[in-house]
């Protein structure tokens, strides 16, 4: 892949270099034709080069070779078998002739045999006969000439010959058997092999043709197949290149056939979607950081400058330094919260999750904040009796709860007449199991959040206009929402009539389920 | 947190910490009597006396400690060394893990302050090597990685405490002194005692009974644990984060001063109606329980 990319780059890079040189050497027209011709050749060459480097092409070649090899083997076996069959037939025919002639010989001796051979020699056909005396004198038969010494040995022999009745002197071949008869007579009975030779020829020419067809079709098929795949891969490469240059909204083409390339494209597309979402999140975060960290940083800087410029006495310097440290502590806090959110959102915290009772966490956090609520003149009640098992990170969940509770205390104004006549607590912290869900909620009697603002309130740094004056990083709800998502749940904001009811809705862990899942792994 | 800058700027040649330590601290200046939020007039108190007190407030151990600071950021290391010297301790520096290991092996240090990311050998490996050799000098790990699992990893590697950067010097000092005291007592010490006593305040760890001047003080379970932790480290500064970690087992920043509220509740139970206050707020650092007499 990377090779083909390099090829394209060099060919693209070479084209502009070619053009300016043209006009100086030749006329503009010549330049146009000349520049186009090498360009075309170059692109043809590079596309062949590209083709030769692709895996599909290599595979096609291998398949083609294997296929051709099998075709040749098959054809060879076929030819061999046919030849054997024909030879067997010839042998059978010759043996039948010999049986006939032997019968004649037994009945009438050599004289009868001579007549029989003579008779048979006159018949049309491809059988050949020759009967000679001990000194090689021909007694009868239809063979005109034979290579010398053919009759010397008895048994089967393949030999060239010429028939007596034939005008042409072209070589014929025959398979024959030579016998030695009493008295030095020798008999040769055989059959012409022309039929077999013709068949062989047919087979071999068929083999040549089919081999040629196999190669041509294989190459063409492979080429077109390769081209088809290459085109799609190239399209993908082009798209990825535009995506790499920064346009993350681009998506790879999917043909809809559901083949391997489609699956690859779909996977890459979902990967791109994830990357785009992450990039979007990153941009949002950096925008928000820029916005909300710059404000305190500016304040910090201005205050220091102001102190340098106008502070006269040591107490004044001290005050300035103290406020500087306070401001930077606030910055660190914001920064920590951002990191925590990022960590929860990236799912890193999933590594150390365990089953624990969320009702316990609710009680602990409520206990931690109860004195603070009381200090503010608020009543806080906890309803977390039954065990509410969740699978998660206790620390993060506690922090999310702490944020919700902190918000509730921060935004709830104590009623003017505090006393025991109040039926409802100002803040109610609850842990409840609802079916397969665990709901951890913090309800307050504060101003609440209007329905239209609820989804926005969860976003990072969003502090609704009415709450601008209250201290805080504006990240509390975002962190709670991120923690809820990390645990496979969500943060719900609802009307508490009046006030806000913020609840972490989490999937309930079944006791022993995690252990069972672990052991099955 | 704001205390450190003051400490540093306050130490002028005229008021050396050694000299300052000789003077008995003045409670009404050094220790705020309310819930720990210093009044504005307190903050801008005259430089001279407040300065010496600030130094003394922060340093709660009786003897000077020998510290080894292993940190590759030279500026940060110098700053720390200077700050420790200002409160009367002796600090040596090492710039990387291998030097730090060599110095820690040879020198007799009361405590090691180890940056986690160091050149040549990282802090955790270094502590691991030391522990392998049986050197148990307490080590406090400083790290830019402040997540709970990083902390767990650090403590598992042999560290005794873990502090995420950026930190307040007061926080670091308090933790270092608690660690040093723990090791001086041979790891046991106060841990072994069944009854903690500070002045006329007594806490029985077995029966969970708390008495002040012979009178029983009724505490909630969490208040008991809070007091137990404070009394275990009597005479030492205990920061809010240390309380949150050790009494509540939380490692996050609760944003609001929840701990202060708990401490002021506890104070109202143990100090109210008594002439002698035992639970003091150390401005900018945390709390300390001690008998002034």
A244 in a structural domain = no
Task: Tell me: do A264 and A318 sit in the same domain.
Answer: yes
> Measured between alpha carbons, how far is B240 from B164 in angstroms, rounded to an integer?
15
pLDDT of residue B57: 47
Closest CB from B43, B149, B255 relative to A406: B255
Q: Does A321 touch chain B (CB under 8 A)?
A: yes
Distance from the B134 Cα atom to the nearest Cα atom in chain A, whole angstroms: 30
Task: Tell me: do A112 and A150 sit in the same domain.
Answer: yes
- Select from B37, B146, B247, B252 the residue whose CB has the most chain A CBs within 10 Å, as the one to mutate to test that interface: B252
pLDDT of residue B19: 40
Q: What integer is the mean pLDDT of A292-307?
A: 82
pLDDT of residue A484: 86
How many domains does chain A fold into?
Answer: 4
Residue ranges making up the domain that contains A129: 89-199
Q: Is A131 exposed, middle or buried (0-12, 13-18, 19+ CB in 10 A)?
A: buried
> Measured between alpha carbons, how far is A479 from A458 in angstroms, rounded to an integer?
8
> In chain B, whose CA is at the least distance from the CA of A335?
B166
Residue B58, φ and ψ in degrees, nearest 5? -70, -40
Closest CB from B44, B250, B255 relative to A395: B250
Distance from the A355 Cα atom to the nearest Cα atom in chain B, whole angstroms: 17
Q: What integer is the mean pLDDT of A276-295?
A: 75
> Measured between alpha carbons, how far is A63 from A56 in angstroms, rounded to an integer?
10
Q: Does A369 touch chain B (CB under 8 A)?
A: yes
> In chain B, whose CA is at the least distance from the CA of A406?
B256
Task: Tell me: do A408 and A481 sit in the same domain.
Answer: yes
Q: What pLDDT, in 10s, does the model give residues A415-448?
A: 665 555 556 678 888 888 888 888 888 888 777 7
Q: What is the 3-state secondary structure (H, E, C) of A160-204?
A: EEEECCCCCCCCEEEEEEEEECCCCCEEEEEEECHHHHHHHHHHH
> In chain B, whose CA is at the least distance from the CA of A352?
B149
A366 in a structural domain = yes
Q: Is A50 exposed, middle or buried (0-12, 13-18, 19+ CB in 10 A)?
A: buried
Q: What is the DSSP secondary-structure string of A318-334?
A: HHHHHHHHHHHHHHHHH
> In chain B, whose CA is at the least distance from the CA of A374?
B261
Distance set, CA B290 to CA A303, B42, B49, B199, B277 (Å): 38, 22, 21, 8, 9
Closest CB from A369, A371, A398 relative to B265: A371
- Select from A325, A377, A473, A480 the residue whose CB has the most chain B CBs within 10 Å, as the one to mutate to test that interface: A325
Q: Does A452 touch chain B (CB under 8 A)?
A: no
Measured between beta carbons, the chain A residues lying within 8 angstroms of B43 are 318-319, 322
Interaxial angle between packed helices A55-122 and A28-53, expressed in degrees from 0 to 180 and rounded to the nearest 10: 80
A363 in a structural domain = yes
Is B117 in contact with B144 (CB distance < 8 Å)? yes
pLDDT of residue A65: 83
Q: Does A387 touch chain B (CB under 8 A)?
A: no
Task: Tell me: do A305 and A380 sit in the same domain.
Answer: no
Is A150 in contact with A159 (CB distance < 8 Å)? yes
**CATH code, domain with A188:** 3.30.450.20
Q: How many CB atoms lie within 10 A of CB A345?
A: 19
Task: Tell me: do A405 and A379 sit in the same domain.
Answer: yes
pLDDT of residue A508: 84
> In chain B, whose CA is at the least distance from the CA of A369?
B258
Q: For the whole model, what pTM was predicted?
A: 0.59
Measured between beta carbons, the chain B residues lying within 8 angstroms of A382 are none
Task: Tell me: do A329 and A355 sit in the same domain.
Answer: no
Q: How far is CA A304 from the centre of its chain?
A: 58
pLDDT of residue A472: 55
Q: What is the 3-state secondary structure (H, E, C) of chain B?
A: CCHHHHHHHHCCCCCCHHHHHHCCCCHHHHEECCCCCCCHHHHCCCHHHHHHHHHHHHCCCCCCCEEEEECCCHHHHHHHHHHHHHCCCEEEEECCHHHHHHHHHHCCCCEEEEECCCCCCCHHHHHHHHHHCCCCCCEEEEECCCCHHHHHHHHHCCCCEEEECCCCHHHHHHHHHHHHHHHHCCCCHHHHCCEEEECCEEEECCCCEEEECCEEECCCHHHHHHHHHHHHCCCCCEEHHHHHHHHCCCCCCCCCCHHHHHHHHHHHHHCCCCCCCCEEEECCCEEEECCCC
Q: How many CB atoms lie within 10 A of CB A372?
A: 22
Place of tokens 């002021």: B264
**CATH code, domain with A359:** 3.30.565.10
Q: How many CB atoms lie within 10 A of CB B101?
A: 22
A390 in a structural domain = yes
Is A371 in contact with B1 (Cβ distance < 8 A)? no
ipTM of the complex, rounded to two decimals: 0.70
Is A476 in contact with B255 (Cβ distance < 8 A)? yes
Task: Tell me: do A49 and A103 sit in the same domain.
Answer: no
pLDDT of residue A27: 44
Q: Does A347 touch chain B (CB under 8 A)?
A: no
pLDDT of residue A410: 82
Q: How many CB atoms lie within 10 A of CB A96?
A: 12
A215 in a structural domain = no
Does residue A498 have a cis peptide bond before it, meaning omega lies within 30 degrees of 0? yes
Bridge-based pairing of strands B90-94 and B238-239 is: unpaired
Q: What pLDDT, in 10s, does the model give residues A100-112?
A: 888 888 888 888 8
Q: What pLDDT, in 10s, does the model give residues A6-18?
A: 333 433 334 443 3
Candidate ranges A232-236, B16-20, B61-65, B138-142; pick with highest mean pLDDT = B138-142
Does residue A296 have a cis peptide bond before it, meaning omega lies within 30 degrees of 0? no
Q: What integer is the mean pLDDT of A47-68?
A: 73
- Select from A304, A316, A318, A330 the residue whose CB has the most chain B CBs within 10 Å, as the one to mutate to test that interface: A318
Measured between beta carbons, the chain B residues lying within 8 angstroms of A322 are 2, 5-6, 43
A252 in a structural domain = no
Distance from the A302 Cα atom to the nearest Cα atom in chain B, whole angstroms: 19
Task: Tell me: do A271 and A189 sit in the same domain.
Answer: no
Q: Does A367 touch chain B (CB under 8 A)?
A: yes
Closest CB from A319, A336, A403 relative to B44: A319
pLDDT at B15 over 70: no
Residue ranges and CATH numbers for the domains of chain B are: 66-184 (3.40.50.2300), 190-289 (1.10.10.10)
Task: Tell me: do A310 and A364 sit in the same domain.
Answer: no
Closest CB from A321, A364, A372 relative to B256: A372
Closest CB from B2, B44, B258 relative to A315: B44
Q: Which of B148, B136, B116, B127 is nearest to B245 (CA)?
A: B148
Q: List Cβ<8 Å contacts ≥24 apart for A459-466.
A: A460/A284, A460/A285, A460/A288, A460/A338, A460/A341, A461/A288, A461/A291, A461/A292
Q: Which of B171, B164, B161 is nearest to B284 (CA)?
A: B171
Closest CB from A318, A322, A333 relative to B255: A333
Distance from the A395 Cα atom to the nearest Cα atom in chain B, whole angstroms: 7
Looking at A337, A360, A393, the residue that finishes a domain is: A337
pLDDT of residue B180: 83
pLDDT of residue A13: 39
Closest CB from B251, B253, B255 relative to A472: B255
Task: Tell me: do A402 and A364 sit in the same domain.
Answer: yes
> In chain B, whose CA is at the least distance from the CA of A404?
B254
Distance from the B84 Cα atom to the nearest Cα atom in chain A, whole angstroms: 20
A109 in a structural domain = yes
A224 in a structural domain = no
Q: Does A255 touch chain B (CB under 8 A)?
A: no
> Measured between alpha carbons, how far is A131 from A141 in angstroms, rounded to an integer?
6
Size of interface A-B (CB pairs under 8 A): 76
Q: Is A169 exposed, middle or buried (0-12, 13-18, 19+ CB in 10 A)?
A: exposed
Closest CB from B9, B256, B262 relative to A406: B256
Q: Does A225 touch chain B (CB under 8 A)?
A: no
> Measured between alpha carbons, how far is A66 from A208 in angstroms, rounded to an integer?
17
Task: Tell me: do A265 and A386 sit in the same domain.
Answer: no
Q: What integer is the mean pLDDT of B71-100?
A: 87
Measured between beta carbons, the chain A residues lying within 8 angstroms of B252 are 340, 395, 398-399, 402
> Measured between alpha carbons, how far is A426 from B168 in angstroms, rounded to an integer?
36
Q: What pLDDT, in 10s, does the model give residues A176-195?
A: 888 888 888 888 888 888 88
Place of tokens 């986690």: B116
Q: How many CB atoms lie within 10 A of CB B200?
A: 14
pLDDT at A473 over 60: no
Task: Tell me: do A366 and A493 sit in the same domain.
Answer: yes
> Measured between alpha carbons, how far is A190 from A96 in angstroms, rounded to an integer?
11
Q: What is the dihedral of CA A21, A22, A24, A26, to 10 degrees?
A: 150
pLDDT at A25 over 70: no
Is A395 in contact with B262 (Cβ distance < 8 A)? no
Q: How far is CA A176 from the centre of its chain?
A: 67
In this predicted structure, which of A134-143, A201-210, A505-514, B25-34 has the lowest mean pLDDT? B25-34
């Amino acid at each position: 892949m990377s090779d083909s990319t390099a090829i394209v780059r060099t060919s693209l890079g070479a084209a502009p270099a070619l053009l300016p040189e043209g006009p100086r050497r030749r006329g503009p027209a010549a330049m146009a034709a000349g520049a186009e011709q090498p360009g075309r050749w170059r692109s043809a060459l590079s596309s062949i080069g590209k083709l030769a480097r692709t895996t599909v092409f290599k595979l096609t070649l291998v398949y083609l070779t294997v296929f051709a090899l099998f075709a040749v083997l098959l054809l060879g076996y076929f030819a061999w078998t046919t030849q054997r069959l024909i030879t067997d037939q010839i042998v059978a025919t010759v043996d039948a002739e010999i049986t006939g002639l032997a019968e004649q010989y037994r009945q009438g001796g050599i004289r009868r045999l001579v007549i029989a051979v003579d008779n048979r020699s006159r018949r049309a056909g491809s059988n050949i006969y020759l009967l000679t005396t001990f000194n090689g004198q021909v007694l009868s038969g239809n063979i005109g000439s034979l290579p010398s010494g053919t009759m010397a040995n008895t048994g089967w022999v393949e030999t060239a010959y010429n028939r007596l009745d034939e005008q042409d002197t072209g070589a014929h071949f025959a398979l024959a058997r030579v016998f030695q008869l009493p008295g030095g007579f020798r008999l040769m009975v055989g059959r012409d092999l022309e039929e077999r030779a013709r068949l062989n020829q047919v087979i071999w020419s068929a083999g040549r043709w089919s081999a040629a067809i196999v190669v041509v079709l294989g190459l063409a098929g492979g080429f077109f197949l390769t081209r088809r795949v290459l085109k799609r891969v190239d399209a993908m490469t082009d798209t990825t290149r535009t995506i790499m240059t920064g346009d993350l909204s681009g998506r790879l083409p999917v043909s809809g056939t559901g083949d391997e390339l489609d699956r690859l494209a779909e996977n890459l597309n979902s990967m791109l979607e994830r990357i785009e979402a992450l990039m979007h999140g990153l941009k949002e975060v950096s925008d928000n950081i820029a916005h909300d960290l710059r404000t305190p940083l500016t304040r910090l800087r201005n205050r220091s400058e102001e102190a340098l410029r106008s502070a006269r006495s040591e107490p004044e310097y001290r005050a300035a330094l103290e406020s500087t440290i306070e401001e930077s502590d606030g910055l660190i806090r914001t920064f920590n919260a951002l990191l925590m959110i990022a960590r929860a959102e990236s799912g890193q915290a999933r590594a150390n999750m365990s089953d624990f009772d969320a009702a316990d966490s609710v009680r602990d956090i409520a206990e931690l904040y109860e004195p603070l609520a009381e200090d503010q003149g608020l009543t806080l009640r906890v309803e977390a009796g039954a065990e509410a098992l969740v699978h998660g990170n206790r620390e993060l969940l506690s922090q999310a709860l702490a944020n919700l509770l902190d918000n509730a205390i921060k935004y709830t104004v104590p009623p003017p007449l505090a006393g025991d006549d109040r039926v409802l607590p100002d803040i109610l912290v609850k842990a409840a199991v609802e079916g397969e869900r665990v709901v951890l909620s913090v309800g307050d009697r504060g101003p609440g959040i209007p329905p239209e603002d609820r989804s926005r309130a969860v976003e990072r740094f969003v502090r609704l206009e009415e709450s601008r004056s209250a201290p805080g990083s504006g990240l509390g709800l975002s962190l709670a929402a991120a923690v809820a998502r990390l645990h496979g749940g969500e943060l719900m904001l609802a009307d508490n009539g009046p006030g806000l009811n913020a609840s972490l809705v989490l999937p309930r862990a079944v006791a022993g389920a995690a252990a069972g899942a672990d052991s099955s792994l | 947190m704001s205390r450190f800058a003051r400490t540093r700027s306050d130490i002028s040649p005229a008021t050396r910490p050694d000299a300052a330590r000789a003077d008995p601290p003045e409670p009404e200046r050094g220790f705020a009597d309310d819930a720990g939020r210093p009044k504005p007039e307190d903050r801008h108190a005259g430089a001279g006396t407040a300065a010496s007190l600030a130094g003394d407030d922060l340093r709660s151990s009786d003897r000077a400690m020998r510290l080894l600071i292993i940190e590759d950021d030279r500026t940060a290391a110098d700053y720390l060394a200077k700050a420790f010297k200002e409160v009367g301790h002796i600090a040596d520096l090492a710039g990387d893990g291998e030097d730090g290991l060599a110095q820690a092996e040879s020198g007799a240090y009361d405590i090691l302050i180890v940056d986690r990311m160091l050149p040549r050998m990282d802090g955790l490996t270094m502590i691991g090597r030391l522990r392998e050799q049986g050197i148990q000098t307490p080590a406090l790990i400083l790290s830019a990685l402040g997540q709970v699992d990083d902390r767990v990893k650090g403590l598992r590697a042999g560290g005794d405490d873990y502090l995420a950067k950026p930190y307040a010097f007061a926080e670091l000092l308090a933790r270092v002194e608690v660690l040093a005291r723990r090791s001086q007592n041979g790891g046991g010490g106060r841990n072994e005692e069944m009854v903690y006593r500070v002045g006329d305040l007594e806490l029985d760890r077995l029966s969970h009974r708390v008495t002040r001047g012979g009178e029983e003080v009724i505490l909630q379970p969490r208040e008991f644990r809070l007091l137990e932790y404070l009394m275990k480290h009597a005479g030492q500064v205990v920061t809010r984060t240390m309380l949150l970690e050790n009494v509540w087992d939380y490692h996050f920043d609760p944003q609001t001063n929840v701990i202060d509220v708990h401490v002021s509740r506890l104070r109202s139970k143990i100090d109210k109606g008594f002439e002698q206050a035992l639970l003091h707020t150390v401005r900018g650092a945390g709390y300390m329980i001690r008998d002034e007499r």
